[in-house]
Amino acid sequence: MKHLMEQMKVCTSRMALAALDIFPGNQYYFERINPRFPMCIDMGYRRDTEDEEELTEPCSWEPSACSNGSLLVLGASGSGKTETLKKVGRAVIHHPIPLLIIDFHGDIVFPGQTSFLLSSGFDSCIGVNPLELPSLNHRLIGLRDQWLGVTAMLKRACPHLSQNQLAIITFAIGQAFRNAGIEEAFPWTWSNQAPRLVDVLDVLRKWGEDGFDCFSAASIRGCYNAVTSVFGHPVFNRFVGLDLNRLQNACTRIDLSHVDESIRFLVAETLLRLVFAKLRGLGPIPVNPASDKERYRLMILIDEAKILTCGKGDPDSRDRILNVLITEGRKFGIGLILASQMVDHFGQDVLSNVASLLVMKPMDAREAKRNAATVQVPYEDLLALRGRGEGYFKTGGNPRAVKLQVTMG
């Protein structure tokens, strides 16, 4: 009864806000609505009977009833993953929890979003600067960690770089920071405007001409070429970056569908590293959150997540951003909603930590066998799924998978 009264109060305030043109996704909506009951996302209906046409009980996802707010959707192309993610995304912002959508294919579109295009085209005005220092808590996290993130990405993108060359690039990043008036030894300078990667390239160009320490000019030129090939793209070098402060009061969609495939994963990874650093800088969420709003500072939705995990390098590596987000994100208020075709697209960290799983129609017996073990359903049952939103759903509150028909809308 108390729960019902609470819901009615929220409905009334939603109706009042709608009369003022304040809808889910709108900043004021996020600020004004603070429901005290847990987020309960309607997924569709259970389809447990033999009768194909009979839809039985409603089925929902309650992130706070699980060990963490993560959901993984697996299924072949056309099985209904994107539609499911759109449905979940709409419910998340309606609740309202802020949502960040990494849209690799440009098809996660629904009302209430603010979209930002990241591409080399002139409709794209903002960028992501891997050298930005978003952490508010410099007492705990210093400059060095930010640099390590950049060199780790470079190492993965250019595996031929030698240890010497990685050292040169680290020195060059340090020099670019010093040129921008930021000294590692003087923390009060860390809040100055961070340099961009073009500034690092300027340092390398100069060292290539004048020489630097005992390093050969050829080695420095190799570094210059590597940094240019990976981070020379305009999205990494714009003056205006995405406003990370805004993310916590909005539904933000980052459209990456027009960035060249070769660097798409790096743009997404850079952005997610900045977001993680920002939320980590806010410190951990309370041990006993009073509401889901306290529990989830930001939900992150990524369709076709294999672009991020299969980019280059080992998907199991501890420094891969999805592994970082799934293992450490909960503490800092991050929920994850991911989709891809197969379990093989994810590292072990993701598979063992994800609290809720929806497995939809696989492409073939091989895919069915791979996905079946994760959801603990015989692979023949997965093969028999009809597609169009049908799947097996296993969630923290109910660890045995139930057959589910996701409803559209």
Q: How far apart are CA 311 and CA 155, in angstroms?
A: 12
**Site track 30-69 with ligand ADP (rule: CB under 6 A), x = hit:** ----------------------------------------
Residue 242 touches which member of Mg ion, ligand ADP, none, C-beta under 5-8 Å by kind = none
Among 35, 63, 75, 222, binds ligand ADP (CB under 6 A): 75
Question: Which CB sits closer to ligand ADP, 78 or 283?
Answer: 78
Output 78 or 121, the one with its CB closest to ligand ADP. 78
Closest CA to 304 of 337, 262, 259, 351: 337
Answer whether 61's CB lies under 8 Å from 395's CB. Answer: yes
77 lies in the binding site for ligand ADP (CB under 6 A): yes
Structural tokens at position 88: 């979940």
Q: Which residue is nearest to Mg ion (CB)?
A: 82
CB nearer to ligand ADP: pick between 75 and 134: 75
Report helix, strand or coil for 405.
strand
**Which one of residues 14, 81, 156, 253 is an interface residue with ligand ADP (CB under 6 A)?**
81
**In terms of CB distance, is 77 or 192 closer to ligand ADP?**
77
177, amino acid identity: F
Q: Which stretch binds ligand ADP (CB under 6 A): 49-57, 73-81, 268-276, 325-333?
A: 73-81
Q: Is the Cβ of residue 255 or residue 349 nearer to ligand ADP in the bound state? A: 255
Among 25, 63, 89, 389, binds ligand ADP (CB under 6 A): 389
| Residue 75 touches which of ligand ADP, Mg ion, none (Cβ within 5-8 Å per kind) | ligand ADP
Any contact of residue 391 with ligand ADP (CB under 6 A)? no
Does 82 engage in binding with ligand ADP (CB under 6 A)?
yes
80 binds ligand ADP (CB under 6 A): yes
The item of Mg ion, ligand ADP, none sharing an interface with residue 205, based on CB under 5 to 8 Å by kind, is none
Check binding of 78 to ligand ADP (CB under 6 A): yes
Q: How far apart are CA 244 and CA 275, in angstroms?
A: 7
Burial of 33 (0-12, 13-18, 19+ CB in 10 A): middle
Question: What Cα–Cα distance (Å) separates residue 313 from each residue in 141, 263, 267, 308, 350?
Answer: 26, 14, 16, 11, 16
Q: How many CB atoms lie within 10 A of CB 54?
A: 10
Positions that interact with Mg ion (CB under 5 A) = 82
340 binds ligand ADP per the rule CB under 6 A: no
Q: From the CB of 73, what's the least distance to ligand ADP, in Å?
A: 8
**How far apart are the C-alpha atoms of 395 and 73, rounded to whole Å?**
12
Q: Please check whether residue 72 is in contact with residue 354, taking contact to mean a CB–CB distance below 8 angstroms.
A: yes
* 223 sits near ligand ADP (criterion: CB under 6 A): no
Q: What is the DSSP string of 83-137?
A: HHHHHHHHHHHHTT--EEEEESSS----TT-EEEE-SSSTT---B--TT----S-
Coarse DSSP helix, strand, coil percentages of the chain, rounded to the nearest 5 percent: 45, 15, 40
Q: Which residues bind ligand ADP (CB under 6 A)?
A: 75, 77-83, 388-389, 406-408
